[in-house]
Structures are given as structure tokens and as C-alpha cells.
Amino acid sequence: MHMGTSESRTLSVAAAGTLITLIAFTAPLATINPTAAALGADTAGGTWILSSMSIGLGAVLLSAGTIADDFGRRRTFVGGAIVLAVASVAAALAPSTLSFVIARIAQGVGGAAVIASSLGLIAHAFLAGPARAAASGVWGAAVGGGIGLGPLVAAGFERSADWRDAYWVIAIASVSVAAVARRLLVESRAEHARGLDIAGTALLATGMSALLAALVEGRSGWGRPVVLILAAAAVVLLTAFVIVEARSRIAMLDLRLFTEPAFLAATGAAFATGAGIIALMSYMCGFVSVALGISTLGAAWLLSAWSATSVVTALFARRIRMSGRMQLVGGLVAVGLGQSSLFGITGDTSWQRLVPSLVFTGMASGVVNAALGREAVASVPAGRGSLGSGANNTARYVGSAVGVTIVAVLAARPAGSGAVALADGWNQASLFTTGISFVGALLVLLCRPRRTPQTTPDAEVVTSDGAPSPRRSSDTARP
């Protein structure tokens, strides 16, 4: 991939921030048992430890994308990285389950700002076409790499030192990427700012928080008052959000986007990715440790058979000669086929049985991740790349929260105990996530693009260091 110095800096920093955020997101997967023991967490507390960062991500991703486009993508990226660092320090020092969960939610808030602004930075720096496709592949590789590295980093520290040390490393990495971004990146934002939609931002954040909290609490019993109250609050708040956005002149989310096939395809594919393969892989580390007797570090390495393959495939996905929409269709179908091959696990299955399926599914996931990065930006108006990223990743992490909840319920259904019951639960869960991937592929296939007039070429501006920076004509750049 040939690109200038300014573009390479932008891509490197944006991908690094995304990688660090995903490492933070998946770190507890491999160390949930020692973490829960150190914090004195019961079963419900363990569930919150695993799920709390999703609440922060899902609650503010869309808002962060809008803020980045209107008030500065570099500023939002740097601020998010600093919040992620501070929250990681709080997680490393947390004395109790409650303080750790609060720190993880704050990690999600900071990570949301980083992820949403990262794709906006890339969209501003790279012209639509081969250059942006290659850059989106690198971003997609960072997503897959972070998912795989998180458990490896945490398990490695837990084995050699202390599980808390992983959060110190995340904090140091976050501060470093914030400093580099502040020094090297050029500020950019949409030419026509809509203004801060305070009502919409507050309603979406509280509504999404209530929804995700209800999903987490529901795993301990769906009829409990706290679950019903949270679910009712989510319905009321999110309904109010839709009403406010429909009437607002400065709406953070133009609801007409949901009538656009490209936006529906990208958002639906992101939700299916979260509720499908990400949900199943989130459950896998714990499953293979208990059911197959694999060590914490071994489980993390097994997960990397999927994630590492997705990294390599995402980097080369630009060479696939088909539209982004059809890449999503083909990728999701292949992901579904890969998950279906994970069905049929028994109590005496060896870990080697899983590797070919994980490698194949990882290849397909890499194609999906690369295409999602590109389609998220392409599905929204010019100059609103961070909004597209925020909406797309909101769908991904809400989908993950929904999928993990359903997988947990299905995995607990088989009667009995021991490896046989765990294997039965895994098989039911894999069938569900397989179906989600196929349904997602069908949805994207049905979202046929509309014919639109040919757009004018993207403009080029000169950045503060004198290097040409191709961008959409509706963007402005500031040193």
C-alpha cells in the first residue's frame, strides 16, 4: 500500500488506538477466575466483570462519533485514549468488584471515543477507492488482533506476575498513543457542524446503559424486579430518543439513514458479527478451560487461531474483486459455515479438533472486519465518517451483548454437570450463532443498493506540515 507520510501516520495511530481498545475489551476473558477470586466476586459479579466494558462502549459510541465529526476527530481520539488510560489504572488498583466494574465501564467510554474517531480519521485521510479499502483492511486487522491479544496479554501476566499488570500495560499504551496522536495528527472535522444534541446524547446513553444492564442482570433470572425495571427504562428512554431525534434540527442521528440500504446492510452485518461469532468466541475461552481441561494461557492461544487468521485476511481483503456489500454477504456465510463445523463437540473432544474450524472462521471474519470498516464510512453522508463508525460499532457491541446473553442461557440449559453437559451447551450455542451469521448474510443480500448520481471527486487540502491530504470535500482540516 503506497501512501504519504501524513496518511501513514494517521493509519498507524488510528489502528494502534483500536488495537489497544480491543485488548482492553477482551482481557478479562482469560483471567475471569483469578480476577473474580481476587475481587471477591460471586457468579453475578463475574458476569458483570466480563460485560461491563460493553456498557460503556454501547452507551456512547454513537454520541462519540457525532462529537468527533463536529468538534474534532483528533481531539476526541486523544481524549478517549486518556480516559481509557485513567480507567485502566483504576481497574489495576480496584479493591472490589464494584470499583472494578465502574472502571471497566469507564474503559468502555474512553474506548468508544477512540474507536469512533479512528475510522473518521482514516476516512478523512484516504480517498474513497483502493487506498481507503487498504486502510480499512489495516483497521479491520487491528480489531481482530486486539480481540486475540487481550486474553494472551492478560493470561501471560497472570501466569508470570499478576493479572492486574495487564491493566498497567494498557494504561501505558493508551497514554503513549494519545501523546503520539496529539503530536503527529492533523485535526479534522465536518465542514458543517450540527451542534451538540444534548437531549439525544443523554437519552441514548442512559437508554443503552439500561438495556445492556438488563441483559447482564437477566442472566441471573429474567423475572427479577431489577431486570424488569431496567428493561422498562430502556424501552422508555430509547423510544424518547427516537422521538427527539425525529423532531430535532440538530439530531445526532438522522433517522432517515435507516431507510438507506447501504446503512442497513452495514449496521445489520455489524450486529450479526457481534451476536454471532464474537459472542461464541467470548464464551469459548471459559468453555475449553473447564470442559476440555485446557489452561488459561492455552485457551488464549486457541482463541488466537481465530483472531490471528482474521488479522492476516483483513490485510489482504482489498484484493478481493467484489463490492463491499458482497464481501459482507460472502464473509458472513463463510463465518456461519465455520461455526457450524464447531458443532458436535463431546466431552472427550481434543483441542486439535477445533483448530481447523477456528482458522477457517478467522479467515472469513477478517473479510467481514475489513469490509465493515469501509462500509461503515461509505454508508453515511460525506464528512460523517466518525458517525458511521459510531453507529456501526454500536450495532457490533450491542449485538455482542445480546449474543453473549443468549449463548450463556443456551449453554446453561442442558441438564447435568461436567464435560458432557458443557459440550451439549456449547453445541446449542454454536447452532444459534451460526443461524445469526446466516440471517445477517441474508439481510445484507436483500439490501440492494439504490442507483445514485455519480458524485464529484474528493477534494485535496494541504495539511499543516505541507503534505497533501486527500479528503471528502465536506471536511475541513485544522492544524
Q: 53-93 pLDDT, tens per residue?
A: 988 898 888 888 888 988 899 999 999 999 999 999 999 99
C-alpha to C-alpha distance for 56 and 78, rounded to whole angstroms: 17
C-alpha cell at 283: 464464551
Q: Which pLDDT tens digit goes with each residue over 242-279?
A: 999 898 888 778 888 888 999 999 999 999 999 999 99
* Of the candidates 37, 116, 71, 83, the residue with the CA atom closest to the CA atom of residue 394: 116
122: nearest Cα among 378, 319, 449, 311: 378
pLDDT at 432 over 80: yes
The string of DSSP codes covering 120-165 is HHHHHHS-TTHHHHHHHHHHHHHHHHHHHHHHHHHHHHHHHS-TTH
pLDDT exceeds cutoff 80 at 341: yes
At 417 the pLDDT is 63
At 460, is the pLDDT very low, low, confident or very high (cuts 50, 70, 90)? Answer: very low
Q: What is the pLDDT confidence band of residue 463, given thresholds at 50, 70 and 90?
A: very low
C-alpha cell at 336: 456461519
* Interatomic CA distance for residues 373 and 433, integer angstroms: 22
* Separation CA 394–CA 274 (nearest Å): 10
Do the Cβ atoms of 109 and 25 come closer than 8 Å?
A: no
Rg (CA), the chain: 21
Which of 94-108, 130-144, 465-479 is predicted most confidently?
94-108
Answer left, alpha or beta for residue 463, where phi above 0 means left and psi between -120 and 50 means alpha: beta
Taking the C-alpha atoms of residue 376 and residue 396, their distance in angstroms, rounded to an integer, is 11
pTM above 0.75, yes or no: yes
| Set of cell numbers at residue 393 | 460499532
